[in-house]
Each structure stands twice: as structure tokens, then as C-alpha cells.
Amino acid sequence: MMFKILFEDEYFLVAEKPSGLPSQPTVDKRRPDFFTQLKKQLTEERGPNYLGLHHRLDRDTSGLMIFAKVKEANEPLANLFKKHLIQKTYLCFTKKQKCPDAWEVKNHLAETRDAELKKMKMHSVRSGGVKAHTLFKKLQEFPKALLVEAKPLTGRMHQIRVHLAEQGLGIYGDDIYAAPKKPAPPRLMLHALRLEFTHPFNQEKMNIECPLPPDMEDFQKSLS
């Protein structure tokens, strides 16, 4: 599989992660991951190279990931994430339910282990936990689904998924949180569409987009 490069300069590289690959190496060293495979692809194309990992997407989420190409870009990129100066925009297909055209969820999330699923998951809590804040916008209605835009203002595990699920708007294909089953999706219908930030080296306003992948486009057609 050849990964798409959506943007590249001397400091940063933005590539499209496909669904089904972990963002980074896991405990199982035999399991392929996006970071290792992308670095291998770049090495085969241009020789030994540096790639700095600064964020992740859930395994079944597709879309944009940004990497540092040189070590001097690590600190500026880390600061963009730390200070929430990178705006990430996602698209997802959710259960159809009455909701505003635009809304926000601001709460605190805590991590717990689901004994039945044998997976870690997040849930909202009244005290403790970590702050989580997401802006949502309803973009389109279908007979059995909604197309929703999500802009997380914090970067918590499963943030978009749990914020929607706890409002009865579970994302199609979610295997951890409550989600609709029909029509059956091929995977989690969540895609990292856009990255917006000010380039820390040249101060240029960056707006990098990655269109919906074919499996989500096909699912959208099935909804109509």
C-alpha cells in the first residue's frame, strides 16, 4: 500500500492514514502500523530519513496525520499541539436523532476498562477526569443517519466518539460505544478531514485537507 502525501516542506510532512492501521507501533511487534510503514515507504523512495511522531488517530479512523521531518521541527510542532494551535476537523456519519444545527460538548472524561470488551474506554464524570471540549455541526441529513462535522478543542482519547455516543448520536461502525448497526458500515465512519495552523517557521496560514476515502463515500451513497 502506498500512502498519500498531502503536504510536505522541509520541516513537516502530512500523510493520509488508512483505516485499520494503528498510528504507531503496538506491543505486538509483528503488527503493522502507519508510522513504521510510512517511514519505510519514504526510505525506499528517498533513502534514510527522519520522521517525528506527535499525535495519533484511532486504529479505525482514517485521515490526516502530521509529522516532523527534521529534529528542529519537533519542539515547534509539539508546542502547536500543547497549546491547541492546530485545529483538527473530522467528518462522521452518526445515528439520526433530533439535534441542533450546531452545538458543543464541554465536560470531563475519565478512562475505565470495559471487562466485557476487554478494552479501555472513556466516559463523562461529574468530578475528576480530564477536560474535553468539542464543537459539532450538522452538515446533512439522511433517512437513517446524519453527516456531522466535529472540531475537538482538546485531544482526549475517543473524545469525539464518546461525546456523540453519550448524546445518542453514536458513530456508525463504532465497536466500543453505542452505535447504529444498519445499514452495516465497513468500519468506523470517522475521518480526519482537515488541519489548520500557522506554520511556526514561515508564519504561513496552513489549511490541509484530505477528502473522504472511497469506503466512506460508498457508505454515504448507501444512506441515500
Burial label, 94 (beta-carbon count in 10 A; 0-12, 13-18, 19+): buried
DSSP-based three-state secondary structure for 79: helix
Domain ranges of the chain: 5-223
- Per-residue pLDDT of the chain in tens (224 residues, 90 and over written 9): 799 999 999 999 999 999 999 999 887 778 899 999 999 999 999 998 999 999 999 999 999 999 999 999 999 999 999 999 999 999 999 999 999 999 999 999 999 888 777 788 999 998 889 999 999 999 999 999 999 999 999 999 999 999 999 999 999 999 999 999 899 999 999 999 999 999 999 999 999 999 999 999 999 999 98
DSSP-based three-state secondary structure for 146: strand
Segment 33-40 long-range contacts (CB within 8 Å, at least 24 positions apart): 34/3, 34/65, 35/67, 37/1, 37/3, 38/3, 38/67
Catalytic residue among 9, 28, 33, 58: 58
5-223, which class in CATH?
alpha beta
User: pLDDT at position 92, please?
Assistant: 98
175 in catalytic set? no
Kindly report the pTM of this predicted structure.
0.95
Say how far apart CA 200 and CA 68 lie, in whole Å. 12
